[in-house]
Structure 1
């Protein structure tokens, strides 16, 4: 029985992290609906965080009941006249004098803006989080300057110091961070390299690590590495007894194995050298020339080196622009991945459900606050995109109906609305079941 306690603790931690992330994202989404609706003259009766029985509540001066409910898996805004929390159906009868304050009775522009605001606020949350990291953590300087240095295995000799400006590695000049890929391609892999640095106004050649060591910077959820217990900051020393000195070499060894179990020797600060056995999994990834390619993966990312770059301050507008670019990148990746699954370019197992999302959220929380908040930004952008899909009961479905009304001058008939709404509910439920099935049965 005691063996189950750690597993139960991990599950509880994952569940709490998932509920916290989901509550933040849903609250921001619903607040977008609420505030734009209120500014548009639409009255909100209830703003609920969670579903089910009410735990506590208060009513504000606008007459809206703000509540926290017992089931913390989402939330909703119920506008005056809404039949249900999804704002679906013909709606309830209200005093004709108050019809303008209902969603159904508001002008088309107000309805469109109110429904669009939910996904837009999700995108704004992502932009602000990414921008906040750029402002408070800074951006790498154009020149390669050593920041914080991470622990290294004892076989790696390094005399680099924080503040050193890197001028060359292995005899190859370094012009800046944008030049590092060229430098890595020209310098042969080795556990120790000659680094030319500028230190206190003097050029020095000192020993240092390979510029792209086999150090793990991230571990994917539900991956072979995560299942085996590999952690960020681990250094992979060998794969099947063959030493690796550069991160790229790991991918080659994994590809050569073609799904065969691999033995890894891993150095971990404080624990020394550890042994792991794991089996790579196949996954569809974006290809360089477009489309997707199927590859064997163990689920680690890396190549960041043993030191973080020294940073510079980011201006507000620069940070917001970077935040918008990163949010747009999440949206485009979501769109291309969805289309690739529909068109059969990638395996349907790439569509995860609530379990895989919860596990990824738990792992992000375990990696630290910064990782957890970054994951919230990614998840918020993805949820905003999914809500814009033209599926009835989602925001995108309502916007589709409003677009039809704008073009034809009349809304869809009640019969068509009821039929499409039923199909929308069935589609959403089917997708949820499909994702859950993938979580349980896909490798």
Structure 2
């Protein structure tokens, strides 16, 4: 699992050379398939065994990465040792500066933690906690302590979930996300297992000593669904099934986060009846739309690796462009509903903020969507991060819905 092994094939010297670098992240694989067919036709002419299309794509990908490494090594030849002729790997001299070593470790953990998901988790808990606040005196040390306990416990569980997903997808990430620590080789499997096990234990330990039923329930359900989503054992690895994968993300991001963490503050911290107010119902419904969009959109930049390893996502089945515009349509419907909810607000300040805020977000979404180059993986990934920013912005608006 730690290395992507592709066997080499002997080739007569009279064969024409082929480019080592190929854009594997193109939304269409037509050019790659054509090149694959041309290569196999030439091989047949000279009696060379043909290779499968899957191995061809992987060979091209490895070749492209090696070309980039060699180019980088030439820029910093004073720090890199390269022996291409003897087949030795590219190695960097270890840093002797403790600060550089610490910085590198923190950077690797930062990427391993998938920070955009951590930010979303923290903002969502703060936002739904504020929905339980009814008067100014509710902003007490008790409230701040209860909210902080929920944030830390959820953060620990978030690291477990995203870490397990990377541990289960090492080979796929070598194609789709080679910058992640496991895919790049910065983390060994043993290191990743130690990290995710430690954070899972700390999450449950904190949830247990706090003694909040809703909080512990949120952690347990997130653990079960996150494990079933990623782990590669019989009957699990639900991410292989597009509809079930979307349901997992919806359950955690839309239902568990809104309802369980709200009840943690409302019932456990404040000791009030477990009643779901209009803002809580709105937040759950709106984030259900948003969670479906995130579940669909996250696979758009990863279509190449998903195709190679048999992940039947909606993007693989329907194509990038169709899924892209389905996501935009779902979000625009959600914003329209939010505007209508704002019109029914009992307070004028709530009405103005809710309507104006969602009109602004809907306009920004449409403006950005029209300019996205669906032929560029970098552009699609950048827009995916923009959707997460809209996700964050919504949690700033939710407490104003009254």
TM-score under structure 1 normalisation? 0.22
Query: Higher strand proportion, which one?
Result: 1
Q: Tell which structure's C-alpha radius of gyration is larger.
A: 1
Query: Higher helix proportion, which one?
Result: 2
TM-score under structure 2 normalisation? 0.24
